[in-house]
Amino acid sequence: MYTQALDTHGREPVPAPAAEGAATATRFQARIDADEKIEPKDWMPEAYRQTLIRQISQHAHSEIVGMLPEGNWISRAPSLRRKAVLIAKVQDEGGHGMYLYSAAETLGVARAQLVEQLLSGAAKYSSIFNYPTLTWADVGAIGWLVDGAAIMNQIPICRCSYGPYARAMVRICKEESFHQRQGFEIMLTLAQGSDAQHAMAQDALNRWWWPSIMMFGPPDGDSKHTAQSMAWKIKRFSNDELRQKFIDVTVPQAQFLGLTIPDPLLHWDEATQHFAIGPIDWSEFHAVLKGNGPCNRERLEARRAAHAAGAWVRDAAAAYAAKRGAQAHEGGKS
Amino acid sequence: MSDPTTGAPAADWPLYEVFIRSRSGLEHKHVGSLHAADARMAVEHARDVYTRRQEGVSIWVVRSADIVASDPAEADALFEPARDKVYRHPTFYAIPDEVKNL
């Protein structure tokens, strides 16, 4: 599962909640401040609704597109056990997409509209999935790093002010833990294997480390929506806070694996009691986000092809349901 | 996905709310929703989406459109009458400590 502080990538700035009645808006904020949950039919500022629709649907799209890089290795998993695990993991990602689409729909947007936005390229999804999975070790690195970063992002969302999103996230976080552990186990097996396997694990870490670090979104100074999302309790920690937490827990794990994090400036900072990293190349992040990553076009084409290939199934199911409905109606009359 | 003539997204399948009984002896509990062409498909999808880890022994699905709900805007009027009736709770009554089994 996979967010990357997606709420920071909207193209339009979120308007302040001024249009609605000031008293109603004050009451709404008071409920949020009192840690009450907002439920679908409750009054909410339009900007709160739009922010959530954008964030939850981008999150859902990320789950769906996220099935592609890992699905790439199902037919080539090195053992039956690994294959069964990978199928279960990819199926979970699909399930997470379903929970999230349902949560988004409670805000008054249609599923078909959300799917259309993904397929047309209008919607964004986590840019991490625009990187290719070149070797089996990439499956391990994705579980360990990408799912690890996602968990770091998502655990605070379990306490999000919007009830359906928070509840979906509780479910997702429970399932996500298996994803991260199976990834680490793959990395551990490779790191302790032959020289070639160790090198394969190192290569995967080299390629996935920085994109994983960038999953937390732009630095706090450049993050447009953080303050408003924090006030609404959609977001609980800033991008940089979450990024630092991830680095602090992950560096020792890499050391345990005997792998080297691809950052010559990485060091323990006694003063801050945190690991400090070298500068992040944000130009790459923005290039991938704009559609110029290694696999952007391939991912969308795969989704469009899958959707088109499934059209006859959807049509057949609808026709069958209509026929059964008509028969039940006839039967009821006689 | 799109209607070839209008370009508008095709209509979604109906939305179903899903209720799962997690163990025998417990009540069914709302877990979420999903789209399905008919009720039977809704049960099958609910199995795949909501019980991948043995979360349930029984599934109910109901068309979301068939659920009648109270209006959150009227929650105060609806539930306020119970607020000042604390005498409906056993703790309202002061019983001397030496009285047992009460």
* Average pLDDT value over all residues in chain B: 89
Reported as a pLDDT band with limits 50, 70 and 90, residue A4 is: very low
Tell me which residue of A93, A156, A157, A148 sits closest to A125, measured CA to CA.
Answer: A93
In this complex, is the C-beta atom of B101 within 8 Å of any C-beta atom belonging to chain A?
A: no
Distance of residue B36 Cα from the nearest chain A Cα, in angstroms = 9
B69 has a chain A CB within 8 A of its CB: yes
Average pLDDT on A298-316 reads 96
Q: Kindly determine whether residue A105 and residue B49, on different chains, have CB atoms separated by under 8 Å.
A: no
Q: Three-state SS for A251?
A: helix
Burial A141-170 (b: 16+ CB within 10 A, else e): bbbbbbbbbbbbbbbbbbebbbbbbbbbbe
CATH no., domain B15-92: 3.10.20.520
CA distance linking residue B9 with residue A112, whole number of Å: 6
Distance between B102 CA and the closest CA of chain A, angstroms: 36
pLDDT score for A290: 87
Cβ–Cβ contact B65 with A under 8 A: no
**Nearest CB neighbour to A95, from listed B35, B52, B71:** B52
Domain boundaries, chain B: 15-92
> Could you tell me which residues come within 8 angstroms of residue A269 by beta carbon, excluding any fewer than 6 positions away?
A275, A276
**A170 close contact with B: CB closer than 8 A:** no
pLDDT digits (tens, 9 = 90+) for A39-87: 998 999 999 999 999 999 999 999 999 999 999 999 999 999 999 999 9
| pLDDT over 90 (residue A224) | no
Residue of A43, A112, A320 lying closest to B37 (CB–CB): A320
CB contact under 8 A, A116 and B69: no
Query: Between A39, A102, A112, which is nearest B10 by CB?
Result: A112
- The number of residues making up chain B comes to 102
First to last CA, chain B: 66
Give the position of tokens 């109606």.
Answer: A329
Q: What is the ipTM of this complex?
A: 0.84
B55 in contact with A, Cβ within 8 Å: no
CA trace torsion A263, A184, A3, A280 (10° rounding): 0
Model confidence at B1, pLDDT cuts 50, 70, 90, reads very low
**Does residue B6 have a pLDDT over 50?**
no
The tokens for A333 are 């009359």
Mean pLDDT of A254-274: 98
DSSP state of A123: S
* Least confident window among A15-29, A220-234, B81-95: A15-29
Residue A41 to residue B72, Cβ atoms within 8 A: yes
Has residue A32 got a pLDDT over 80?
yes
> In chain B, which ranges are continuous DSSP H helix?
39-50, 75-79
Mapped onto helix, strand or coil, the DSSP state of residue A49 is helix
Share of chain A above pLDDT 70, in %: 93
- Asked if B10's CB is within 8 angstroms of A111's CB, the reply is no
Q: Is the pLDDT score of A138 beyond 60?
A: yes
A315 in contact with B, Cβ within 8 Å: no
pLDDT reported for residue B9: 60
Answer whether A318 sits within 8 Å of B13, measured CB to CB.
yes
d(C-alpha A4, C-alpha B89), whole Å: 48
Each residue of B19-64: pLDDT tens digit?
Answer: 999 999 999 999 999 999 999 999 999 999 999 999 999 999 999 9
Does any CB of chain B come closer than 8 Å to the CB of residue A260? no
d(CA A93, CA A87): 10
Find which of B40, B49, B71 to mutate to test the A interface (most A CBs within 10 Å of its CB): B49
Q: In sequence order, what DSSP letters do the residues of A317-331 get, joined into one string?
A: HHHHHHHHHHHHHHH
Q: What is the pLDDT of residue A100?
A: 97
A321 touches chain B (CB under 8 A): yes
Task: Say whether A255 sits in a helix, a strand or coil.
Answer: helix
